[in-house]
Chains A and B, each alone.
Chain A
Amino acid sequence: MIAVINSGVANISSVVFALNRLGFEATVTRDIKTIVSADKVILPGVGAAAVTMKNLHEFGLIPVIQQLTQPVLGVCLGMQLLFESSSEGDVDCLGIIPGKITKMTGDDLIIPHMGWNTLNFVHASPFENQYVYYVHSFYAEVSEYTVATTTYGKPFTAIVKKDNFQGMQFHPERSGDVGEKLLMNFISPPL
């Protein structure tokens, strides 16, 4: 069973619909037992970091997510929350992956970074230079946990992985066939 954590923000259904298109059922939930017993957990999210962290705190989900041992995927804001802190609302995040989330800046840089941009992988990948869909104004610096980068003004972390936790800054559920393949790889990793 795939659990999609209901963090109280909108736009969760598009993640569920993408999973359905791939032939998987997903349960949207904030029930601790359901999340802990799931085979895979997805933490989606759009909106503001501070509001979502406050929701996760109120639902008692912060220690629950931190202690998950099955594969976990954070999408967009859900990826950012895996890091230590975010300057969006100056808030502490889940602290699972080292690093801080900061606002994109740059001369003549149109913000939010919105639209399709390419992936560049640290190690060879069939998804090299493939386009995925982004909508965000905050980003994670490139670090030792970065799997792939995208360049907008400068390179930032597009895909991150540490132990059983993965994050995607783009929206795989809205990134065409490429996004669906990346989601599929999370659910059934190629051998």
Chain B
Amino acid sequence: MLAKRIIPCLDVKDNVVVKGVQFRNHQVMGDIVELAQRYSNEGADELVFYDITASSESRNVAYEWVEKVARVINIPFCVAGGIRNIDTARKILEKGADKISINSPALENPDLINQLVETFGSQCIVIGIDSHYEHNDYHVYQYTGSEKTIQSAKRLTKDWVIEVQKRGAGEIVLNCMNQDGMRQGYDIKQLTSLRPFIHIPLIASGGAGQMQHFLDVFQIAKVDGALAASVFHKQEIEIENLKSFLKQNNIIIRT
């Protein structure tokens, strides 16, 4: 049986791992390669690296660390941030990343999704979506790396998840902004409401604070993976403990 995935997310800024609350007040959490190796050894199923400054400050990420990570870990990983063309995507994949994730650039130029899919295949093209609940519906936001640049993308989240699938995306990471960094649990309501429209793997992001939150999001929202950052970085939840807890509760987990 296909296992549910536990995915530590490493927000990268200036080549170190950071974490802020609702995209603000970033604290340094540690070295990229060291954290990657630690999570890989502890049983993470996959890693995601987001360069959170890349899109909003319109600069290229320094991708040198990608190859260093690819050399040391033996689990898959995805790189996000600042990927706005085929050449940058190719550079990252050639350095050994398994997938690339795009967010704001896909909203600016949705054809980029098709171009990436045609060049590299669906399997390595992930779409990250920052979704915010307001005016009785879920809305997509972009340039969320900084408080100064964040803005509404003027799209409903539901419309956007349908569109990115039509364009060939291989996976969706849905970051529920109202919950992000709050540790009150994943946005089960939002994820459950969108799941029927998503026929590719769906990864929940934003809000994990306790082991129960992971169980809830797998059991209720039927997501394929759960992403979290600070609970892992601060070692409040050990991946090994989390996995045995989920397994005891009949979630299919790789141990």
Contact = CB atoms under 8 A, between A and B. Distances in A.
Nearest to A77: B121
Sort chain A's interface into a size bin: 35 or more
B121 A47 contact: yes
B174 to A, nearest CB: 14
A1 interface: no
A179 to B, nearest CB: 6
B171 to A, nearest CB: 6
Contacts of A48: 121
Contact of A137 (B1, B5, B71, B122): B122
Interface stretch (B12-20, B90-98, B148-156): B90-98
Interface string B51-89: 000000000000000010011101110000000000000
Contacts of A117: 1-3
A18 B71 CA distance: 7
Contacts of A13: 67, 70, 94-96
Contacts of B123: 46, 112, 114, 135-137
B120 A176 contact: no
Contacts of A14: 70, 96, 98
Nearest to B4: A115
B2 A21 contact: no
Interface string B1-39: 111110000000000000000000000000000000000
Sort chain B's interface into a size bin: 35 or more
Contacts of A115: 2-5, 45-46, 201, 224-225
A27 interface: no
Nearest to B123: A135
A84 B10 CA distance: 42
A79 B165 CA distance: 27
Interface string A38-52: 000000001110000
A179 B121 CA distance: 23
Given A11-B98, A13-B95, A116-B2, A179 B74 contact: yes
Given A117-B2, A118-B1, A152-B2, A112 B122 contact: yes
Nearest to A15: B96
A10 B5 contact: no
Nearest to A151: B1
Interface string A152-190: 100000000000000000010111110110000000000
B224 A17 contact: no
Nearest to A88: B121
Contact of B170 (A10, A112, A180): A112
Contacts of A136: 123
Nearest to B91: A10
B74 A10 contact: no
Given A13-B70, A115-B201, A174 B120 contact: no
Contact of A180 (B3, B74, B254): B74
Interface in B112-143: 119-124
Closest 4 A/B residue pairs (Cβ)? A10-B93, A47-B121, A131-B254, A13-B96
Given A110-B224, A112-B122, A135-B124, 6 more contacts: A13-B94, A21-B74, A112-B200, A175-B75, A176-B40, A176-B75
29 contacts: A10-B90, A10-B93, A10-B124, A11-B93, A14-B98, A17-B70, A17-B71, A46-B120, A47-B119, A48-B121, A110-B199, A110-B224, A111-B199, A112-B200, A114-B123, A114-B201, A117-B1, A131-B3, A133-B76, A135-B123, A135-B170, A137-B122, A137-B123, A152-B2, A171-B76, A174-B75, A174-B76, A176-B75, A177-B74
Interface of A: 9-14, 17-18, 20-21, 46-48, 110-118, 131, 133, 135-137, 151-152, 171, 173-177, 179-180
